[in-house]
Amino acid sequence: MVAFPTIAKSFGHHCRKNSKPYSTQLLSHLSSIFEISNSHQWQFQSTRTLLLQSASEAVKLRRLFDSDSGIIEVNLDRPEAKNAIGRDMLMGLQQSFEDISRDSSANVLMISSSVPKVFCAGADLKERKTMSPSEVEVFVNSLRSTFTFLEELQIPTIAVIEGTALGGGLEMALSCDLRICGEDAKMALPETGLAIIPGAGGTQRLPRLVGRSVAKELIFTGRKITGRDAISMGLVNYCVPAGEARLKALEIARDINQKGPMALRMAKRAIDKGVEIDMANALDLEEDCYQQLLHTKDRLEGLAAFAEKRKPKYIGE
């Protein structure tokens, strides 16, 4: 995984990063539902969801419980700015993704928004106006690295797009493995209208999804597309009725969550790395990934469950 560029030196007076990772060992011992004050690291919101402390109030990290244990959700919550990404939110995203990367019990990640009709409006342009060119460069480089870190998480990731996903918001979704949108979603990379280009991976990830010609048209014009447009060009995996994107994403996450955790990680590695190299080397990579699963307890459990006609109980070993 790539390392994040340090933005604390440039922006340390604006926000402070909480470097304490959450404890997966503690989580395994929490069996009752209780609520702890905001000064502590843990808060139970319901019998199914645990809210974990973030470096930013605009980014909520939640763990699902019971049969959904293994599903993690990053929730964007900055309604006053339509989830625009500023320094504070960027720090929150960085910490959340870092925490997830250290959590061996995490099997699948969903990124969603709690703001109605908005996924993410992109960069915070009001904040951007106060930055010097060098500060803008550092910020954009950090945003790009953050999305690369998201892309390289070992677990499957799903972007839940309801409403607007513009600029950096769409670039974040492009960094996920899967994208689910509501049919009233509006997506665009409008940066050329501001005399810049998409700088957090959009010029590279979009053409890899929809093809070079379509990507050029969308970036050159900054045209907004609907959810139905997005599904027709292969930008999203599913387009569902407005308001139902999270339900569909949760359905897919639950399906993924039932699979072997190590197999998911190896499948993602084989696909992501394999498409970047020639076929012969890609098949060697697939062989290596398969071999890493041969002597796992989960592989034996899968065979036993099949023979006994029951659901497997995978432990990630």
171 is catalytic: yes
pLDDT tens, position by position, 43-58: 334 436 666 656 678 9
168 is catalytic: yes
pLDDT tens, position by position, 139-167: 999 999 999 999 999 999 999 999 999 99
pLDDT tens, position by position, 193-246: 999 999 999 999 999 999 999 999 999 999 999 999 999 999 999 999 999 999
Q: Does position 34 have pLDDT exceeding 60, yes or no?
A: no
**pLDDT at residue 3 in the model:** 46
Q: How far apart are CA 302 and CA 291, in angstroms?
A: 16
- Catalytic pick among 55, 81, 84, 123: 123
- Catalytic pick among 73, 127, 162, 171: 171
Strand partners, 166: 188
123 is catalytic: yes
Query: What tokens does 25 get?
Result: 């060992």
Percent of the chain exceeding pLDDT 90 equals 80
- Catalytic pick among 163, 168, 201, 202: 168
Strand partners, 226: 186
pLDDT band at 174 (very low <50, low <70, confident <90, very high): very high
Strands (E), 59-144: 59-64, 71-76, 108-113, 118-120
pLDDT tens, position by position, 237-266: 999 999 999 999 999 999 999 999 999 999
Q: Which of 48-57, 60-69, 89-98 has the lowest mean pLDDT?
A: 48-57
Q: How far apart are CA 15 and CA 88, in angstroms?
A: 6
- Catalytic pick among 106, 191, 215, 245: 191
Q: Does position 310 have pLDDT exceeding 70, yes or no?
A: yes
